[in-house]
Amino acid sequence: MNEKNKLIDKYSAKVYKNRKDHILQLEDLDEAQSIAANTRAIPGVMTARGCCYAGAKGVVVGPLKDVCVITHGPVGCGFYSWGTRRNKARADEDSGGKNFVPYCFSTDMQEPDIVFGGEKKLEKAIEEAVALFSPACIMICSTCPIGLIGDDVQAVARRTEEKYGIKAIGYSCEGYKGVSQSAGHHIANNGLMRYVIGTGDKAPAKKFSVNVLGEYNIGGDGWEQERILKRCGIEVVSMFTGDGSYGALKNAHLAGLNLVMCHRSINYIAEMMKTKYGIDWLKVNFIGVGATCKSLRDIAKYFNDAELTRRVEEVITDELSLIYDDIEYYKSRLTGKTAGIFSGGSRSHHYQVLLRDFGIETIIAGYEFAHRDDYEGREIIPFIKEDADNKNIETITVERDLALYRERYSEAELEALGAELDVDSYDGMIPEMNPGNIVVDDYNHFETDELIRTMKPDIFFSGIKDKYSIQKAGVTSRQMHSYDYSGPYAGFRGAVNFGRDVTMALYTNAWSFVSPPWKNEPMLVGTIGG
Amino acid sequence: MSTNIVSLNVNPCKMCMPMGAVSALYGVRGCMTILHGSQGCATYIRRHMATHYNEPIDVASSSLTEQGTVFGGEANLLKGLANLIALYHPEVIGVCTTCLAETIGEDTAAIIAKFHEQNADSGVKIIDVSSAGYAGTQNEGFFRALRAVTEQAPHDATPNGKINIVLPMISPADTRWLKKFLLEMGIDAILLPDLSENLDGVTATKYERLKTGGTSIEDVGKMAGAKLTIEFSEFIRGEDSPAVYLNETFGVPYTRLPLPCGVRSIDALIEVLCEQGGVVTDELLRERGRYLDAMVDAHKYTAAARAAVFGDPDFVKATVRLCCENGIVPVLAATGSVCRELRTLEPEIRACADLQMTEDFRVLDDCDFETIEQYCSELGVNLMIGSSDGRRVAAKLGLPLIRCAFPIHDFVGGQRVRTLGFDGSLNLLDQAANAMITRTETTYRAELFDAYHGGAKAAAAEKPLISAEIRTATHPCFGDRACENARIHLPVAPKCNISCNYCVRRFDCPNESRPGVASEVLSPQAAFERYVYYRGKLKNLMVVGIAGPGDALANFGQTKKTLELIRAYDSEVTFCISTNGLLLPLYAAELKSLGVTHVTVTLNAVDVAVGAKIYKYVDYMGTRYAGEAAAAILLANQLAGIKLLADYGIVCKVNCVALKGVNDGHIFEVTKMARELGAFVTNIMPHIPVEGSAFEGLERLNNKEITALRDDCEINIRQMKTCRQCRADAVGTLDNDISATLRSAVSAPQKSKTRRFAVATRSGVLVDLHFGQAEEFYVYDSDGADVRFIEKRKVSQYCNGKEDCGDKESKWTAVLAAVADCNGVLALRIGDSPAEKLRDAGIAAVATYEQVETAIRAAAGERAQTLKGA
Ranges of each domain in chain A:
52-178
Number of compact structural domains in chain B: 4
Residue B243 lies in a domain: yes
Is B135 close to A111, i.e. CB distance below 8 A?
A: yes
Q: What is the mean pLDDT of residues B7-34?
A: 97
pLDDT in tens, B649-677: 888 888 888 888 888 888 888 888 888 88
Q: Are B40 and A469 a contacting pair at CB < 8 A? A: no
A106 touches chain B (CB under 8 A): yes
Same domain for B248 and B326, yes or no, is: no
Does residue B11 form part of some domain?
no
Give the DSSP H/E element, type plus range, for residue B371.
helix B369-378
Which residue in chain A has the smallest CA separation from B83? A44
Written as one letter, the residue type at B48 is H
Q: Residue B479 sits in which domain range?
A: 459-733
State the pLDDT at residue A328.
97
Q: Is residue A42 within 8 angstroms of chain B, CB to CB?
A: yes
Contact A50 B43 (CB under 8 A): yes
Tell me the pLDDT band of B867, cut-offs 50, 70 and 90: very low
Query: Which positions 87-106 of B are in contact with A (Cβ < 8 Å)?
Result: 87, 98-100, 103-104
Q: Kindly state whether B412 is in contact with chain A, defined as any CB-CB distance less than 8 angstroms.
A: no
A162: exposed, middle or buried (Cβ count in 10 Å: 0-12, 13-18, 19+) = exposed
Neighbours of A512 (CB within 10 A): 9
Do residues B851 and B808 share a domain?
Answer: yes
Q: What is the pLDDT of residues B789-836, one digit of tens each?
A: 888 888 776 655 445 455 666 777 888 888 888 888 998 878 788 888
Contact B745 A463 (CB under 8 A): no
Q: What is the mean pLDDT of chain A?
A: 93
B234-288 residue pLDDT tens: 999 999 999 999 999 999 999 999 999 999 999 999 999 999 999 999 999 999 9
Lowest mean pLDDT among A189-193, A266-270, B856-860: B856-860
DSSP secondary-structure letter at A59? Answer: I
pLDDT value of position B748 = 41
Chain A contact set for B530 (CB, 8 A): 97
Residues A313 and A22: their CA atoms lie apart, in Å, by: 42
Chain B contacts of A109, Cβ < 8 Å?
Answer: 134
Best probe of the A interface among B3, B6, B9, B746, by most A CBs < 10 A, is: B9
Higher-pLDDT residue of A401, B535? A401
Report d(CA A489, CA A495) in Å as an integer. 5
Judge contact between B215 and B164, C-beta under 8 A. no
- The answer to whether residues B578 and B545 touch, using CB atoms and an 8 Å cutoff, is yes
* Separation of alpha carbons A176 and A145, rounded Å: 10
Please give the positions of A annotated as active site: 51, 54, 85, 185
Q: Highest mean pLDDT: which of A344-353, A505-514, B693-702, B733-742? A: A344-353
CA distances to A384, B702, B711 from B682, in Å: 79, 19, 12
Residue B99: pLDDT over 60: yes
Rounded CA-CA distance B190/B163 in Å is 6
Inter-chain residue contact B207 with A473, CB threshold 8 Å = yes
The Cα of A413 is separated from the nearest Cα of chain B by a number of Å equal to 42
Contact A50 B39 (CB under 8 A): yes
Q: Cα separation of A74 and B431, whole Å?
A: 35
Neighbouring C-beta atoms of residue B209, cutoff 10 Å? 17
Confidence (pLDDT) at B715: 80
Q: What is the pTM of this model?
A: 0.72
Helices (H), A377-432: 388-391, 411-418
Contact across the interface for B11 and A519, Cβ inside 8 Å: no
Asked if the model's pLDDT at residue A525 lies above 60, the reply is: no
A52-178 to CATH, choices 3.40.50.1980, 1.10.540.10, 3.40.50.150, 3.50.30.10:
3.40.50.1980
B545, B487 in Cβ contact below 8 A? yes
pLDDT over 70 (residue A5): yes
CA distance B814 to chain A (A): 30
Task: Tell me: do B83 and B169 sit in the same domain.
Answer: yes
Cβ separation A44–B18 shorter than 8 A? no
pLDDT at B467: 66
CA distance A403 to chain B (A): 25
| Cβ neighbours of B86 in A, within 8 Å | 11-12, 15
What is the predicted pLDDT for the residue at B816? Answer: 83
Residues from chain A contacting residue B37 (CB–CB below 8 Å): 144, 175-176
CB B595 within 8 A of CB B465: no
- B628: in domain: yes
A407 Cα to chain B: minimum distance (Å): 33
Q: Which residue of B has its CA nearest to A481?
A: B47
Task: Kindly state the percentage of chain A with pLDDT values over 70.
Answer: 97
Residue A372 and residue A38 in contact, taking contact as beta carbons nearer than 8 Å: yes
B61: nearest CB among A43, A103, A144: A43
Which residues of A are less than 8 Å from B525 in CB distance? none
Beta bridge partners of B127: B94
The pLDDT, as a whole number, for residue B668 is 87
Measured between beta carbons, the chain A residues lying within 8 angstroms of B205 are 474, 515, 519
Torsion of CA B841, B844, B850, B855, to 10 degrees: -110
Whether B9 sits inside 8 A of A519 (CB atoms) is no
Same domain? For B622 and B676 the reply is: yes
CATH number at residue B77: 3.40.50.1980
In a domain, B850, yes or no: yes
Among candidates A40, A164, A165 on the partner chain, residue whose Cβ is nearest the Cβ of B63 = A40
* Backbone torsion region of residue A165, taken as left when φ is above 0, otherwise alpha when ψ lies between -120 and 50, otherwise beta: left
B724 plus B615 within the same structural domain = yes
DSSP B527-590: HHHHHHHHHHH-TTEEEEEE--BS-TTTTHHHHHHHHHHHHHH-SSSEEEEEE-STTHHHHHHH
A:380-409 residues touching chain B, CB 8 A cutoff: 388-389, 392
Note whether B7 contacts A15, CB cutoff 8 Å: no
pLDDT tens digit sequence for A364-401? 999 999 999 999 999 999 999 888 888 878 889 999 99
Same domain, residue pair B695 and B822: no
Contact A44 B51 (CB under 8 A): no
Residues B669 and B691 in one domain: yes
Summarised one tens digit per residue, pLDDT across range B745-771 is 333 445 567 888 999 887 777 787 888
A162 touches B: beta carbon within 8 Å: yes
Q: Where among B240, B256, B272 does a domain terminate?
A: B256
| Closest A-chain CA to B135 | A111
**A213-227, A315-329, B424-438, B818-832 — which is least confidently predicted?**
B818-832
CA distance A492 to chain B (A): 28
The CATH number given to whatever domain includes residue B783 is 3.30.420.130
Which residues in chain B (56-75) have CB-CB distances under 8 A to chain A? 56-69
B569 and B689 co-located in one domain? yes
Report the distance separating Cα B425 and Cα B773, nearest Å: 63
Highest averaged pLDDT of the listed ranges A471-475, B314-318, B702-706: B314-318
Beta bridge partners, B487, equal: B543, B732
Q: A with B: how many residue pairs have Cβ under 8 Å apart?
A: 268
* A293 Cβ contact partners less than 8 Å away, ≥ 6 residues apart: A316, A320
- The per-residue pLDDT for A142 is 98
Mean pLDDT of A167-175: 97
* Confidence at residue B868, expressed as pLDDT on a 0 to 100 scale: 38
Claim to verify: residue B796 and residue B656 sit in the same structural domain: no
Q: CA-to-CA distance for A59 and B40, rounded, in angstroms?
A: 13
CA dist list (Å): A26 to A339, A347, A437: 16, 19, 6
Q: Is A175 on the interface with B (CB under 8 A)?
A: yes
A468 touches chain B (CB under 8 A): yes
What is the pLDDT at residue B752?
Answer: 64
Same structural domain for residues B397 and B316?
Answer: yes
Surface of B (115-154) touching A: CB under 8 A: 132-135, 137
Q: Are residues B696 and B762 in the same domain?
A: no
Q: What is the CATH number of the domain that holds B581?
A: 3.20.20.70
**B35 touches A: beta carbon within 8 Å:** no
Report chain B residues whose CB lies below 8 A from the CB of A103.
10-11
What is the SS3 string spanning B284-310? HHHHHHHHHHHHHHHHHHHCCCEEEEE
Say if the Cβ atoms of A124 and B6 lie within 8 Å.
yes
Q: Residue A461 pLDDT more than 90?
A: yes
8 Å CB contact of B12 and A75: yes
Residue of A nearest to B81 (CA): A44
| CB spacing of B38 vs A464 below 8 angstroms | no
Asked if A77 and B17 touch (Cβ cutoff 8 Å), the reply is no
B52 and B200 assigned to the same domain: yes
